[in-house]
Structure 1
Amino acid sequence: MDSKSLFKEDNEQLLNDHKRINHWHVLIVNQDKKFHQFIEEGLKDIAFEQKGITWHHAYSSIEAKQILCAIEHMAVILLDTELESMDSGLQIVQYIRNELHDQNSRIILQTSHPETFPYKQVMLSFEINDYQIKSELTSYKLFTSIISALRSYRELLVMEQNKNGLKNVISATSEILKEISIHPLIDTILGQLKAILKLQNTYTYGSLILQKSKQELQVLFKSGVFQNKLIDTTNLFSPSIRQGLDDNLSLIESHTFLMYLGEELERHYFIYFNVGRELTDWEKKLIEIFSSQTSTTFKNVCLVQEIDRTQREIIYTLGEIGEMRSKEIGNHVKRVAEYSRLLALRYGLSEEEAEIIQLASPMHDIGKVGISDIIMNKPDKLTDEEYEVMKSHSLIGFNMLKHSERPIIKAAAVIAHQHHEKYNGTGYPQGIKGEQIHLYGRITAIADVFDALVSDRVYKKGWEMQKIIKYFKEERGKHFDPKLTDIFLANLDAFLKIKDETD
């Protein structure tokens, strides 16, 4: 089960939970090597939140820029104002903020010439976070300024993490709204959960998709650490998770959570997730928000599917009305629908257009409701006059459906009107030929005739397959579109499989 990931990992690595960063990057930019040594010596034992410092050293503007490009997560920059020129340090400040677009790194500007760089003017004109006169530096001042800068950097990370977490939840919610059926929706939800928790490239998590029906719990899918394990659902879950499964509730524990998606056809769906580490409070909040949005989406998708099933049932019922009047009982309209869809796809139409044909083709004979019972039920051969009346069902069906602006009904009107036209122009009711006949009509003509020939009726047995093949070859370019005929014959096994499945 593959799911698309919405989220790029560029600077978001920086925004991973700050507790997972095991050290802080600090850059010293100064031409004086002794000053570098002074800084490191004065702060050699420093640690903040149980993480030490990794020092980076630059002795020129070029070196500073190279290091800043190579290290994305620079927490603090101790920057001398004077390098190659008197204002080189200030140029680096502009480079960091305007070209690298780094607003998180804390910049401490250091100068030996406060008269040239007055602190008020510099602090107000440049995006720096502290100002130091080098001659006044002590270990105490260095320590307090570095700790203050690291604390500020950490708070920015948390704020950015929270902002991006919410953005990811909103993006993930938008992505799941694109799905219109249950199983792709669940796939997408699972993929977005991994993205929100940044688990795409880790192997410590495990997830299960669960289905509960009549109190029986079934594992539909497993991934991560559960992938190759035999899952015993009776002993896997904690008491609170088990209670959530019983009561159809979502809940979050320290390392695991259960997401109740909703109910569809008396089946309840859940996602169980073992993250493999302790969830932060913010991650729990994100899961809670995402779970609420997901539950609403799941209900909407279920409603759409129910409407779709109802629509299909109505369409098939309408189609069967016409067939029942001509004693074409059974699953004829359903088979014609499936044949038409298959032929459309093999022809190269999109899934969407093939579905329109699938839903429209069952109404190809709806016009037979307008033919009198005397003609419809006549056991003997129809007279020429009666046959002309019978042929009018194509026009009757078209007139019944032609006023709709709905794509499916518009397609059904075309099919009802043209499915008895022939490629060589000898069909009815218009006598049009070739590609003057709409593609939908040409497709349904093959589907309808094939099912009529291959199926048993009360008044006849279905034809032998060789006879059917011979007939279609003979009628290629006469009754039927030659290209569609070739596609049909090349895929005959697939059409027969549909027949077997619907009989």
Structure 2
Amino acid sequence: MRDEEVPEGEMVFAQESEEAPVGQPARPGWKVMIIDDDAGVHEVTRLALSGFEFDGRGLEFLSAYSAAEGELLLRAHPDTAVALVDVVMEREHAGLDLVRTIREVHHNRLIRLILRTGQPGQAPERAVIRQYDINDYKEKSELSAQKLYSTILTSLRSWRDLMALNANRAGLRRVIHATGEIFRTRDLSRFVQGVLEQLVALLYLERDALFIKCDSLALRHDSGQVVVAAATGRFVELIGTPAGASLPAQMLEDVATVLRTRQPLLREGEYWGYFQADGGKENVIYLKSLHPLSRDDSHLIQLFLQNVSIAYENTLLHEEIEGTQRDIVYMLGEAIETRSRETGQHVRRVAEYCHLIARGLGLPDREADILKVAAPLHDFGKIGIPDAVLHKPSKLDEDEWAVMRQHAEIGQDLLSQSKREILQAAAVLAGQHHEKWDGSGYPLGLQGEQIHIYGRIGAVADVFDALASLRSYKAPWPLEAILDYLRQQRGRHFDPAIVDWVLDNVDIMGTVAREFPDTRS
């Protein structure tokens, strides 16, 4: 069957060599514990089961010669599949007491417990089976080599199936938890990175040693180009790069197969997954580990990605709405600056400066992001200033300056009418970015930390860019002159902590001016 003909929901398996990989470790044996005070029973049991194999695995025998020793051994080997337990050992009912301890104290409900006794009168079969949570009861005299073989085989089959059910249950719990974590994410780039990290956690939650060896990446397919959107392990440095220029040929071939078939691709230690929201960009997930990924692992990943696609669609919608809001805010800010006959790039630079400073001061990411979106509206109140004052080429007289100063209150009053978080932040910024640290600013003469942190950050960002920009009434200041002014106004006009951060991060601030240069004079 060609790739194009893969039915919906089917998994694509990569072709593999029939020869076992060189150096591949043998699968560990099933653990069978013999708990009996008769050394001869241990020898006979091992001899009868020599050469035993089930599901491609042999047996690993563990021996204990008393109930107390058996309990200690089970603590050390909780993954024991079957225990053959003698009834009479150091005490008449030592084996029965051990069974109760295993089930009720250690809460091990998975191990298959087979009671063996050479004195059936001491523990009648019907009473024991009724009162104790055992899986089989055998008299030593009746347990031939063939019957022992059959008993162990059926017990191992039962334990294997119970373990699979238990693993699936645990996997489903992890899927629910991981999906919940993803649903909290609203930023699209963080969402894709979060999907990757939760997938790794989903598969290796109980394999800490392997977790650090797991490499993974997420690819986004849009407009004919495949880009590395997120990554862990050795792929981290590839984030943001085109896949065609950074991934080896075999991986690119696998990417093409997954995008074409829209189905998972599984091979030894590697998994390629696919998910897409309705009308959204296509995403390819890749996981590689030293631990071979089973079909159960693959099904767990598919279930997770199905749930993630719903969250992905919601995140796309959320980003679209937020993107529209940001664009509207920028357009409003640029319209105000255009009316003021100043460069529209000023509002973008102020927004970027505010974001850098907020992050540098340790504000939470969400607050820094809100401030960045709100910053373009810091001079929103100029919409209410008459053209004669706003466009006067010469110095304003006292009355005109009083009118101009009203723009802070006008902006705050207009923006505060909305209950939206971004516009509430914009109202604070518009009303307080002309306040001064020493209390000599306007409109309220606030002092020190009475000024909201948004207003303090906005004041530095606005003045920093205004001094560096060409205006109709002045030439741009040299950088050193701007820094000298900040030093002079530290503790007077500006918050000292903000000035100190800017002075320590001049190179970072400089990247903003280079990214958003003035487009007109």
**Unaligned 5+ residue runs, structure 1?**
1-19
Closer/same/farther in 2, CA of residues 41 and 209 from structure 1, 3 Å limit: same
Are the equivalent residues in 2 in contact too, given 1:263–1:269 (CA < 8 A)?
A: no
User: Would you say the 8 A contact 1:454–1:464 is kept in 2?
Assistant: yes
What is the correspondence of 1:25-104 to structure 2 with a 5 Å cutoff? 25-104=31-110
Aligned counterparts, 1:279-298, within 5 A: 280-298=294-312
Report if the CA contact (8 A) 1:203-1:225 is conserved.
no
- Quote the Cα distance in structure 2 between the aligned partners of 1:156 and 1:141: 22
1:357 and 1:302 map into 2 onto residues whose CA distance is 22
Residue in 2 aligned with 1:130?
136
2:382 to 344, 365, 368: 368
One-letter code aligned to 1:62: A
Task: Note the C-alpha offset of 1:49.
Answer: 2.7
CA displacement 1:183-208 (0-9 Å, x = unmatched): 43333333444455558728998766
- The Cα shift of 1:85 comes to 1.2
Change (3 A) 1:235 1:119: closer
Amino acid in structure 1 at the alignment position of 2:263: S
Distance 2:121 2:98 in 1: 20
Read off the aligned partner of 1:305 and give its amino acid letter.
E
Partner of 1:454: 468
1:382 aligns with 2:396: yes
Number of equivalent positions: 482
Residue identity in the other structure for 2:49: L
Indicate if the aligned counterparts of 1:260 and 1:295 stay in contact, CA closer than 8 A. no
SS in structure 2 at match of 1:237: helix
Secondary structure (helix, strand or coil) at the match of 1:424 reads: coil
Q: Which residue of 2 aligns with 1:210?
A: 219
| TM-score relative to the length of structure 2 | 0.82
Of residues 224-233 and 374-383 in structure 1, the stretch that sits farther from structure 2 once superposed is 224-233
- Name the SS of the counterpart of 2:210 in structure 1: coil
Q: Is the 1:24–1:53 contact (alpha carbons within 8 Å) kept by the matching residues of 2?
A: yes
- 1:448–1:226: structure 2 CA closer, same or farther, 3 Å change rule? closer
Provide the C-alpha distance between the structure 2 equivalents of 1:440 and 1:155, rounded to a whole number of angstroms.
60
Aligned to 2:363: 349
Displacement, 1:152?
A: 1.3
**Correspondence 1:140 to 2:173:** no
**Matched-pair contact (CA < 8 Å) for 2:439–2:448:** yes
Distance 1:435 1:372 in 2: 33
Report the equivalent of 2:22: none
The answer as to 2:178 corresponding to 1:169 is no
- Alignment of 1:305 with 2:336, yes or no, is no
Counterparts of 1:452 and 1:237, CA distance in 2: 52
Counterpart pick for 2:347 among 288, 313, 333: 333
Question: For each residue in 1:87-107, what CA deviation from the matched residue of structure 2 results, as whole angstroms up to 9, or x when unmatched?
Answer: 211221122122322111100
Cα distance between partner residues in 2 of 1:263 and 1:53:
48
Aligned residue in 2 for 1:250: 263
Is residue 250–residue 257 contact of structure 1 (8 Å, CA) maintained in 2? no
**In structure 2, C-alpha distance between the alignment counterparts of 1:479 and 1:273, rounded to whole Å:** 54
- Is 1:237 the counterpart of 2:253? The answer is yes
Which amino acid letter does the alignment assign opposite residue 285 of structure 1? Answer: H
Q: Does 1:428 find its partner at 2:434? A: no
Q: Confirm or deny: 8 A CA contact 1:341 1:354 kept in the other structure.
A: yes
What does residue 488 of structure 2 align with? 474
Matched, 1:407 2:421: yes
Q: Does the residue aligned with 1:500 lie in a helix, a strand or coil?
A: helix
CA deviations over 1:256-276 (Å, ceiling 9, x no partner): 654333389996432355779
Q: Percent identity?
A: 38
Runs of 5+ consecutive residues of structure 2 not aligned to the other structure: 1-25, 239-244
Q: Which moved more, 1:66-75 or 1:286-295?
A: 286-295
Alpha-carbon separation, structure 2, partners of 1:197 and 1:141 = 39
CA distance in 2 between counterparts of 1:141 and 1:94 reads 26
CA contact (8 A) 1:206 1:276 kept: no
> What is the CA-CA distance between 1:127 and the residue it aligns to?
1.2
Query: Residue type of the partner of 1:421?
Result: E
- TM (norm. structure 1) is 0.85
Task: Give me the whole-angstrom Cα distance separating, in 1, the residues matched to 2:290 and 2:507.
Answer: 48
Does structure 1 retain, via aligned residues, the 8 Å contact 2:412–2:430? yes
CA distance in 2, matches of 1:274, 1:466: 51
In the aligned structure 1, how far is the partner of 2:147 from the partner of 2:217?
53
Q: Are the counterparts in 2 of residues 421 and 428 from structure 1 also a CA contact under 8 Å?
A: yes
Tell me whether 1:317 sits opposite 2:326 in the alignment. no
Q: Contact conserved, 1:261 with 1:298, CA < 8 A, in 2?
A: no
Alignment partners' CA distance in 2, 1:224 and 1:472: 43
